Structure 1
Amino acid sequence: MTDMFPAGPLSQEARAKVNLALHVTGRRADGYHLLDSLVVFPAISDRLTAHACDHVSLTVTGPFAPALDANDPGNLVLKACHAFAREAGISSYGMRFTLDKHLPVASGIGGGSADAAASLRLFQEIAGKALDTCDLNRLALSLGADVPVCLASRSARMRGIGDVLDQAPAMPSADIVLVNPGVGVPTPAVFKAMTSRDNAGLPDLPGSFADLNALVAYLGTTRNDMQAVAEALCPAIPEVIAALVSHPATQLARMSGSGATCFALTETGRGEAICQDLRRSRPGWWIASGPLS
């Protein structure tokens, strides 16, 4: 398949998926939880690059490279590559992937899912063989509940087990700050500890958000149903939330996904100031900021 590669390597951003709101609305008989979530994809990301090669391989670089085993066949970048080839009926192919890993692993911001989605997009571009949208989304869902929404990497309302996606209103101009205290919170443990799983879904989304104040006002009517449970399991999470809330530039702070990454929303141009202040007081935390969308 190497003749399908354009000249030079191709690369894709794998943006963090942040749950601005996350309601748990039920649980199916097979154990999968049902969600209703407003998700965004800020300009904070890993980067996946593919080169022509006669076999499939993965090299991981970046600050979080030690957290991943590049030779693990269960790695989502490799799984996505092989799954696309099977679905597209491609029997002979080769790609040398390099994943520059800047998002913390297993941290509630869909880093692995974003990497898998980038792998699918790269393979589709390189092979010049696009899958039908329904087939591609079905394939993505087989890799993980967050992979379908990560394919488009744009704000969305995500429902069901991650298989029902609707376009969300465009996000207003704003900055978002992501903070992870370096502590893992296993998602299964959070779900297991939950006592309420049949909660109401999100309030109706407006047609648009006039500005950051309008978005913050809407989010004030929502919640993350996993946050209280995750805080009980991981005391570092309320510490992160408190640090974000105490900053004068923060307009809203909340946990993303099942944790332990938390976010703060602030006016455009204020995100880096929050980062700098937190880095001085909490040098061991992972802290990043970027435009909300």
Structure 2
Amino acid sequence: MAALTEAAPAKVNLFLHVTGRRADGYHLLDSLAVFGPAADTLTATRAEALSLTLAGPFGESLAAEPDNLVLRAARALAAEAQVTAGATLHLEKHLPVASGIGGGSADAAAALRLLNRLWRCELGEAALARIAAPLGADIPVCVASRPARMQGIGEVITPGPALPECGLLLVNPRVPVATPAVFRARQGGFSPLAELPVAWPDAEAMVADLARLTNDLEAPALSLCPVIGDVLCALRATPGCLLARMSGSGATCFGIFATPGAAIAAARAMPEAWWSAGGALLP
């Protein structure tokens, strides 16, 4: 069989409210996850054993991982579907690591979708999401890679509002930020659940609603990684940027633009030392 390929698009949190904390210490969240415009790429061919090679601009960052999420997802799918075949997997890592855009989760979700095809498991999206859940809270939403409302600790997933056509620019200062450290640095109380419409007619309406919401992890991430503030200032100073905010636990920040072309043009204006990617939101 010829090699199969699957994209692993970046997950971006347009807002992120910390709404509470469970007795076991896990924080309760409310967030709107969207996808694009950058992605890792995973390729697979049939083989007797399971193996993974890494390449791309950020491939070396994962080289020291003894048990990559991609391999863990592959083994979980094989166990569920009772597959005895292996696969040769190759990951082109274009998304920064530990950057608040779910790169590892997206890769694991891509592995489930890709191997479901390669091994002809014929499992539906819901089954893949169920397999994904024990591997990480962000992986089930990445299985579908569609706009989604995330609540609970990330496991409660419902459809998000219909998105307007607009542009999204992602910018990362190439500084990793550890999510547990950001949660530990967080101070203050909790935020309420957001009120969201069924759909936004245009980018301006979406931005007006998002501007009333927050990313509750932005302040603690800034205290640990001040260069995030430089990224936000650069985005807000860019002509055409309608809203700038940090995604997830950082350090990646995003800017919303009226068109994909405007976001692509804005990416070219970012400092060369930073990673950036502009384009369209995935529907």
Structure 2: any 5+ residue segments left out of the alignment? none
2:204 corresponds, among 201, 208, 213, to 213
Say whether the 8 Å CA contact 2:46–2:118 is kept in structure 1. no
Match of 1:87 in 2: 80
The sequence identity of aligned pairs, in percent, is 52
Shift of 1:138: 2.8
SS in 2 for 1:17: strand
TM-score calculated relative to the size of structure 2:
0.96
Shift of 1:88: 1.7
Match of 2:164 in 1: 172
Q: 1:79-114: CA deviations, max 9, x gaps? A: 000011112222x21100111110000100000000
Shift of 1:132: 5.9
Shift of 1:136: 2.9
Match of 1:106 in 2: 98
Match of 2:234 in 1: 243
Taking a change above 3 Å as real, the CA distance of residues 55 and 115 of structure 1, as seen in their structure-2 partners, is: same
Instruction: Spell out the pairing of 1:137-286 with structure 2 (5 A cutoff).
Output: 137-202=129-194, 204-268=195-259, 269-278=261-270, 282-286=271-275
SS in 2 for 1:225: coil
Say whether the 8 Å CA contact 2:45–2:118 is kept in structure 1. no
Shift of 1:137: 2.3
Match of 1:67 in 2: 61
Say whether the 8 Å CA contact 1:27–1:197 is kept in structure 2. no
Structure 1: any 5+ residue segments left out of the alignment? 1-6
Match of 2:111 in 1: 119
1:45 counterpart = 2:42 = no
The aligned amino acid for 1:79 is R
CA RMSD of aligned residues (A): 1.3
CA distance in 1, matches of 2:139, 2:79: 18
Say whether the 8 Å CA contact 1:181–1:240 is kept in structure 2. yes
Say whether the 8 Å CA contact 2:37–2:168 is kept in structure 1. no
Match of 1:4 in 2: none
CA distance in 2, matches of 1:248, 1:43: 19
Say whether the 8 Å CA contact 2:125–2:144 is kept in structure 1. no
CA distance in 1, matches of 2:143, 2:216: 25
Match of 2:10 in 1: 16
Taking a change above 3 Å as real, the CA distance of residues 132 and 171 of structure 1, as seen in their structure-2 partners, is: closer
CA distance in 2, matches of 1:98, 1:120: 14
Shift of 1:49: 0.5
Match of 1:290 in 2: 279
TM-score calculated relative to the size of structure 1:
0.93
Shift of 1:134: 4.9
